[in-house]
Structure 1
Amino acid sequence: MIATEHVSDMEQLGSFIYRLCSGKETYRLKRRSVRRRISRREAGNCHRIRHFENTFVVETVICKKS
């Protein structure tokens, strides 16, 4: 994910986001169109998990050997 634009009016995002982000710098997120990751031949069966680490989103890829 990449940050695209600064959000100045958080009320338009709803009450839940407004409560979480009030008083903090807030930006809109957009998915990257090109994934930059190394593909390994032996890693065929993969699970992707997106989670928050501190203040940013991290995608963790867990692969089982084939």
Structure 2
Amino acid sequence: MTVQPTEPTTPRLEWFKSSYSTGNGGECVEVAAAPTHVHIRDSKWPSGPMLTLGPGAWASFVGLIAD
């Protein structure tokens, strides 16, 4: 039997730190945008759980914290 490598079916996410992260150990939020969802995780625990929101929920969240 021969095993053929396959392409991943889920694209790799590109994570971005919050612009409010200081680099002094306080950074905690990273965001990755996908075509249909926005993913949020703790930068100090990248393999930990992540929160996934739809675009509408993300826009509402950002609107609330911007006020």
TM-score between both structures, scaled by the size of structure 1:
0.22
Higher relative contact order (CA 8 A, sep 6+): 1
Q: Which has the higher strand share?
A: 1
- The structure whose Rg is larger is 1
TM-score between both structures, scaled by the size of structure 2:
0.21
